[in-house]
Amino acid sequence: MGFPTGKVQLIYAKSKVYVHPSKNKKDNLPGYLYIYKEFPTSTNDELIFGWIPEESLDEDSDQYNALKKVDLGSNSEFFKRPSNYGNFSFSVKIKELYSIQFRPPSIGWWFGSIVLNSKNDFDALPVLFFHDDESQSTINEQERKKRNFEVFGEDNQLFWGGSMFLNEFKKYGNLVKSTLESSVYLINPNLEDLNNFSPNRTIKKNNNNKINPSNFSKFFQNARWTVLENLAKITKFTSDRITDLNDQLTEFNDPYINKILKNPEFSRINDEYGGMAKIYLAKWAMDIKEQSDRSRKLEMDDKYRDVLDRELGLNKENNIISEQDILNAHEPSRELTPQEWNSFFDSSGRLNITVTEVKNRIFHGGCNETIRNEVWLFLLEVYPWDSSAKDRKILRKTFEEDYKILKSQWKDDEEIQHDLYFKDQVQRIEKDIKRTDRDLEIYKREVQNNNEEEEEEELEIKNQNLLCLKDILLTFNRFNDKLGYVQGMTDLLSPLFYIFRDETLTFWSFVKLMDRMERNFLHDQSGIKNQIDTLNDLVQFMLPELYGHLESNHSNNFIFFFRMLLVLFKRELNWENFMKIWEIIFTNYYTSQFQIFIILAILQKNEKILINNLNEFDEFLKFFNDLSINYQENFDILDLLTRSELLFLKFRSMIDIIDINTLDGELSPISDNLRLLLNKDIIIQRETKRVIG
């Protein structure tokens, strides 16, 4: 029995398989993946496998209808042989294929994809991306699995469009999983092919390689790297391609990823396949990246530098920053110890090294928590750096006296106590103090598990430490009466009290901290807006690709960093980590606005995840707000700080290079906001008049 004239038999089709010709989503080409039988007598390895873009298909044509039907479950349909002339369209006999690599959705790759390697070196076949959320047959299968509680595909791997295709493909060819790289399947391999991927050969190659295996974790000893190198040769990938693949090294058969997959939360989210799953996956990807970065770093400290070099494009050739700078940045982070700190002072209690040296030391490692109550007084310049122990003793006395006077100005003044604005401020302060860091031992409710007492607490603060915070804020409210109390200040004050446990010292260090922070709290919001604008300029300058992505999604207003800027990461990081970040910011070592570079580093670290996964304002906001959850535990602060520093150094060199190349009289492309980032003096912007609210 022959086929109808001019027709071939379509036996497999998959809808919404895309080619991504560029990084720009607008260029993405949807199409159909298909397998057809050319003649009734065709053997399995003579089946034709190919892809055709939707744009080459006429709607309602037989060709289109056949593809649609087979995608949705029809066993086979006769149709006209698809043309090979469309954009990126191709068709090859199965026997011409060498291997297929299946890349499930993973880190920063929202869409799973397959990489086809033809035996013919000249055929560059496009990478095909499965847009599972659009393909009706995948959605149907997902629904079916959900109903049967099979969330994952075979081998406990995440189900995706590619796994459906793999199952189908196995019917037509002998697919042999590479023993080295489990994501790669060789198609009808001969002995020689198998040998190419044999472990013996791998080990030999490894020894010739300049990469020393001892630097790698077990992860790499599995020789994935070598496999990737082999793959690169076969497919003539560029070195960029290897970098991309490297990012994907965390495959689903790694223990920690399996752990995440087993998390009931994951299946729950999978069920709610709608909007939120995307954000979850992005966060999940970030989490994995975080973990894999860490596991890798344990054994490849010097490799780590290269990774950062590559990610930041910092290399010796372009000389953007000197080798010494990088080495400094990667000095192992070591807290300033009490012994070290004491050795900085001579017998009269005066510094015997320069302030820059002290700041350099604190900037690179922070300080031990037991000396924060001394170090921060210098960092915040409550005590002058050049003071002697005797000077400080006198100062301390003055502080006590002055604070007493300031406090009595409202506490002992009945008129003020009855002032409407003052009463209003008392209410505001009490409301916020009641909900500041109540999980900390020093601020806990005095009585637990007693409803009546708890109710009382709603109305009246009883905790002595909280009452102390209240007095400090009310005194500050009088002391800086144009600014007064504004929401967010309790978050800045509470850590200071935690460190000093002394009302007077806490007050004066808060006053000093507020010099730097006042611009965040102005009524017209100009100070915080200025920082957001600066961040905008900086991302545009340093991460243009990410900026373009945010811009094209109307999300380049950077409002999602409001909270990080307002209270300096206090809500995102755990207690120890934000304190470290604070003291590093307080040094003004490179710039008085280091917080902007920390945010830049967060963006840079997540750049790929953001570009590949998220494209709505809501999604960006949720992603950054929820960093607070992800960053509470298992947070790699050294990575963040190193990255921030390197970004600053790169920024500074870029400005230098631009300045050198800008002729006299020519308008500089560097905005004032950006230039101000090189300034080490804190920016003080005062409220000009008291505004209520």
Q: Which residues bind other proteins (CB under 8 A)?
A: 133-134, 136, 139, 272, 274-276, 428, 431-432, 435-436, 438-439, 445, 454-455, 458-459, 486-488, 490-491, 521, 523-525, 557, 559-560, 562-563, 566-567, 571, 617-618, 621-622, 625, 691, 693
Nearer CB in complex with other proteins: 486/585: 486
Q: What angle do CA 216, 220, 221 make, to 5 degrees?
A: 90
Which is closer to other proteins, CB of 6 or CB of 693? 693
CB of 559 to other proteins, least distance (A): 5
Smallest gap from residue 378 Cβ to other proteins (A): 29
Q: Which residues contact 662 (CB under 8 A, 6 or more apart)?
A: 668, 669
Q: In 72-189, where does DSSP find H-type helix?
A: 136-147, 161-169
Two tokens, residue 676: 């101000």
> Residue 343 and residue 32: Cα distance in Å, rounded?
72
Instruction: Please give the backbone phi and psi of residue 617, each rounded to the nearest 5 degrees, phi first.
Output: -55, -45
State how far the Cα of 520 lies from the Cα of 514, in Å rounded to an integer: 9
User: What span, in angstroms and rounded, lies between the C-alpha atoms of 53 and 691?
Assistant: 61
Is residue 470 within 8 Å of 433, Cβ to Cβ?
yes
Residue 136 or residue 174: which is nearer to other proteins going by CB? Answer: 136
CA distance 27 to 252: 29
SS3 17: strand
Smallest gap from residue 487 Cβ to other proteins (A): 4
- What is residue 511's three-state secondary structure? helix
If the CB atoms of residues 367 and 567 are measured against other proteins, the closer one turns out to be: 567
Q: In the complex with other proteins, which residue's Cβ is closer, 60 or 439?
A: 439
| Min dist. Cβ of residue 430 to other proteins (A) | 9
| Among 379, 386, 427, 339, CA closest to 585 | 379
Least distance to other proteins, CB of residue 54, Å: 11
Cβ-contact 557, 535 below 8 angstroms: no
Residue 202 CB contacts under 8 Å (≥ 6 apart), including other chains: 180, 223, 226, 227
Residue 312 C-beta: closest distance to other proteins, Å: 29
In the complex, least distance from residue 442 CB atom to other proteins, rounded to whole angstroms: 15
Give whichever of 351 and 621 is closer to other proteins, judged by the CB atom.
621
User: Which of 62/272 has CB closer to other proteins?
Assistant: 272
Q: Whole-number minimum distance, CB 63 to other proteins, in Å?
A: 17
* Residue with smaller CB distance to other proteins, 373 or 685: 685
Cα–Cα separations (whole angstroms), residue 84 to 77, 193, 265, 640 = 19, 29, 45, 49
Q: Measured from the CB of residue 607, what is the shortest distance to other proteins in angstroms?
A: 22
* Residue closer to other proteins, measured from CB, 251 or 518: 518
Helix spans in 518-552 (H) = 526-542, 544-552
Place of tokens 């003291």: 583
Contacts of 245 (CB under 8 A, 6+ apart): 228, 231, 232, 237
| Residue recorded with tokens 């190349």 | 661
